[in-house]
């Protein structure tokens, strides 16, 4: 009993001796409000098969340039931007850089004096480290529209290491070092959001939903604002930073890098599409070859191919490029629009049939 009383006295003494100048945890309300003014909600393509038609971006200039992730929602002629104060604008894509997985968007019309992030200044700061506290801001799950504030999550940088991720069949285009977070920040709509420190200073751009290629688990990450990538242009390769992409994009001087060469795996599906007469002809089925994988799956003329393994297909060209990833014996799920309804069909590709005499 005496030992218990003695321990209690020691504990009370230790509490009394605790430094009185140590402040309590400060709320992030003011910081969140300031950051929110520099962010936008984006609305564009999507809506089927769980692919969101909404996303996030950040203002990087006072006259309406927006930095976001280079994802499917930008593939639309009706890209819309909602500002923090509820104003609504149409926007257009200025330039993309697949190797950084980023895009620059410009609000249409005259806008001036918008709160924004200084990307050059942010990129000149040291990298954050493992164990640092961060705040993640985004419009995940479309919780916010018009003047509603962005979602805020508090977390910690768990590690900084090379990104090895994929979406469906596609490897992540950016494979440099990223911040891995202990917060579940990369949900639908979060791509293009940001992480900041507790002062609201920009640290990185939240990526889209990806799975780790080694563990097949979903990952939560942000690309550091100091990120760089090797961009191939003809016979030369240039190292381009995220900050220079933004700066040159705003100045109209950025030249997009060439896409990585893709080896066609040659899987045969037996789908004949309508003639590709314009730059973005939708992938309508014109004919299905007899006894082909497409015929066995039940595809029909006039079907519109909308998704392949969850990836949005916006044109005949996009469909052909996507199908190069598949070889014989690969299984593919296609979502097709038939009579204003979405139908799922599964194909098992084969080798290209040999011509018979």
DSSP letters of 77-91? Answer: S-EEEE-TTS-EEEE
Q: Under DSSP, is residue 103 helix (H, G, I), strand (E, B) or coil?
A: strand
Architecture of domain 271-348 in this structure: Roll (2.30)
Non-local (6+) Cβ contacts of 58 within 8 A are 38, 39, 40, 66, 67, 68, 116, 117, 192, 193, 194, 202, 205
- Going by pLDDT thresholds of 50, 70 and 90, the confidence category of residue 14 is very low
List b or e across 332-347, with b for residues whose CB sees 16 or more CB atoms inside 10 angstroms. Answer: bebbbbeeeeeeebeb
Q: What is the pLDDT of residue 9?
A: 42
Instruction: Please tell me whether the overall predicted TM-score, pTM, comes out greater than 0.85 for this model.
Output: no
pLDDT surpassing 90 at residue 220: yes
Tell me where in the chain the CATH 2.30.42.10 domain(s) lie. 271-348
Non-local (6+) Cβ contacts of 157 within 8 A are 128, 129, 130, 131, 132, 134, 179, 180, 181, 182
Tell me where in the chain the CATH 2.40.10.120 domain(s) lie. 29-251
- Going by pLDDT thresholds of 50, 70 and 90, the confidence category of residue 142 is very high
User: What would the two tokens of residue 242 be?
Assistant: 């995220």
What is the per-residue pLDDT across 113-130, written as a single tens digit (0 to 9) for each?
A: 999 999 999 999 999 999
The dihedrals phi and psi of 113, each to the nearest 5 degrees, come to 70, 25
pLDDT surpassing 50 at residue 20: no
C-alpha separations of 356 from 167, 173, 353 in Å: 39, 41, 9
Say whether domain 29-251 belongs to CATH 1.10.645.10. no
Q: What is the pLDDT of residue 260?
A: 59
Q: What is the pLDDT of residue 309?
A: 85
pLDDT surpassing 90 at residue 87: yes
Taking alpha carbons only, the member of 280, 195, 238 closest to residue 99 is 238
Count other C-beta atoms under 10 Å from residue 281's C-beta: 16
Query: 3-state DSSP: the chain helix, strand, coil percent, rounded to 5?
Result: 15, 35, 50
Q: What is the pLDDT of residue 264?
A: 85
- Going by pLDDT thresholds of 50, 70 and 90, the confidence category of residue 35 is very high
Average pLDDT, integer, range 42-71 = 91
Q: What is the pLDDT of residue 179?
A: 97
- How many angstroms separate the CA atoms of 308 and 346, rounded? 10
pLDDT surpassing 70 at residue 167: no
More confident residue, 325 or 159: 159
pLDDT surpassing 80 at residue 224: yes
Q: How does strand 221-224 pair with strand 271-273?
A: unpaired
């Amino acid at each position: 009993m005496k030992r218990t009383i003695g321990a209690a006295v020691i504990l009370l003494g230790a509490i009394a001796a605790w430094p009185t100048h140590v402040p309590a945890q400060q709320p992030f309300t003011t910081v969140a409000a300031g950051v929110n003014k520099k962010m936008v909600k984006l609305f564009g393509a999507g809506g089927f098969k769980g692919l969101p038609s909404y996303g996030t971006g950040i203002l990087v200039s006072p006259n309406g340039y927006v930095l976001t992730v280079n994802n499917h929602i930008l593939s639309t002629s009706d890209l819309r931007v909602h500002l923090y104060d509820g104003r609504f604008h149409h926007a257009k894509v200025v330039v993309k850089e697949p190797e950084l997985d980023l895009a620059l968007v410009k609000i249409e019309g005259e806008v001036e004096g918008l709160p924004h992030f200084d990307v050059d200044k942010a990129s000149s700061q040291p990298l954050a480290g493992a164990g640092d506290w961060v705040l993640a801001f985004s419009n995940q799950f479309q919780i916010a529209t018009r003047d509603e504030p962005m979602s805020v999550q508090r977390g910690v940088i768990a590690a900084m290491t090379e990104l090895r991720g994929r979406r469906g069949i596609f490897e992540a285009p950016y494979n440099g070092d990223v911040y891995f977070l202990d917060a579940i920040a990369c949900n639908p709509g979060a791509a293009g959001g940001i992480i900041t420190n507790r002062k609201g200073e920009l640290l990185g751009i939240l990526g889209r939903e990806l799975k780790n290629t080694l563990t097949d688990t979903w990952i939560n990450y942000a690309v550091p604002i100091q990120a760089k990538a090797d961009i191939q242009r003809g016979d030369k390769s240039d190292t381009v930073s995220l900050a220079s992409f933004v700066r040159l994009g705003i100045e109209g001087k950025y030249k997009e890098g060439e896409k990585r060469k893709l080896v066609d795996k040659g899987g045969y599906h037996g789908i004949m599409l309508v003639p590709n007469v314009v730059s973005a002809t939708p992938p309508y089925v014109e004919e299905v070859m007899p006894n082909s994988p497409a015929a066995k799956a039940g595809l029909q003329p006039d079907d519109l191919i909308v998704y392949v393994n969850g990836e949005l297909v916006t044109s005949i060209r996009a469909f052909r490029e996507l199908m190069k990833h598949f070889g014989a014996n690969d299984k593919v799920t296609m979502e097709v629009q038939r009579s204003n309804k979405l139908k799922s069909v599964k194909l098992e590709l084969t080798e290209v049939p040999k011509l018979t005499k």
